[in-house]
Amino acid sequence: MTAGAVFAGLTAGLPGRTKRAAARGTPGFVIAAWALALGCGGGDAPGSRVGGPGPTRPAAVASVTITPRSGVVTAGSLLQLRAVPHDATGAALDGPAVAWSSSDTLRARVSGTGLVSGVRAGAVTITAASGGASGSAIVRVVSAASSELASLRAVGSVP
C-alpha cells in the first residue's frame, strides 16, 4: 500500500481544515496516520504490526476422559460422571465445553453436567464429546428389586 493511498484513505472523511493540516504534513497527524496504517497491517514489511502477535488460540482437544469409566445405578437413582478434555500432550484443559449423550435414553438419561439418571434395567454407553474428541463410560441400570443389585451390594460395588 502506498503512502498516497494511506493518506487518501485516512483523510477521506475529514473536514477541510484538518485535511489541509494533514496535507501540509503536520507531524502529529503524519505519525498517527503511519502508526494506524502499520497497526492495521498496512506496512510494507511482512508481518509488520503494532502490539505483537495477537490472541492465542486455545489448545485443541485430543481426548476426553470420563470418570468413573463404568458404573451401576438403580432405576430412579442418579450417578454423577465427570469428563475432562485433554490436549495432545495429555494435559487437562479447563474451559472446553462438553456435550453429553446416552446411547439409549429409554434406559438412562444424562444431563448437560454428566448426571446420569437410571430409567429401566439394561446397559447404556454414556458419551462426552468436546472439540471433535470423545470418551465413553458404560453404565448398567438395575431395578431396585433385582437380585443382581443385592449381589452387587454384597461385594461392595453399589452402596
Q: Is the pLDDT of residue 45 over 50?
A: no
Tell me the average pLDDT of the chain.
Answer: 78
Show which of 13, 30, 56 is a domain's final residue: 56
- Residue 146 sits in a domain of what CATH number? 2.60.40.1080
Q: Is the pLDDT of residue 6 over 60?
A: no
State the pLDDT confidence band at 148, using cuts at 50, 70 and 90. low
159 lies in a domain? no
The mean pLDDT of 45-58, rounded to a whole number, is 58
Q: Are residues 80 and 127 in the same domain?
A: yes
Q: Are residues 46 and 68 in the same domain?
A: no
19 lies in a domain? yes
Strand partners, 82: 67
Q: Are residues 51 and 80 in the same domain?
A: no
Model pLDDT for residues 19-43, shown as the tens digit of each residue? 555 556 555 555 555 555 555 554 4
The residue range of the domain holding 92 is 63-154
H/E stretch holding 150 reads helix 147-154
CB contact set of 91 (below 8 Å; sequence gap of 6+) = 59
Q: What is the pLDDT of residue 95?
A: 87
Show which of 39, 56, 73 is a domain's final residue: 56
Q: Are residues 81 and 115 in the same domain?
A: yes
Q: Are residues 73 and 147 in the same domain?
A: yes
Q: Are residues 49 and 68 in the same domain?
A: no
Pairing assessment for the beta strands 70-74 and 133-142 based on DSSP bridges: parallel
Q: Are residues 47 and 78 in the same domain?
A: no
Residue tagged 435414553 (cell numbers): 105
Question: Looking at the 3D structure of the chain, how many domains does it have?
Answer: 2
Q: Which carries the bigger pLDDT value, residue 12 or residue 62?
A: 62
Q: Does this model's pTM top 0.95? A: no
Q: What is the pLDDT of residue 40?
A: 55
- State phi, psi for 31 to the nearest 5 degrees: -65, -45
Q: Are residues 89 and 113 in the same domain?
A: yes
Model pLDDT for residues 117-140, shown as the tens digit of each residue? 999 999 999 999 999 999 999 999
Q: What is the pLDDT of residue 109?
A: 98
Q: Are residues 137 and 71 in the same domain?
A: yes
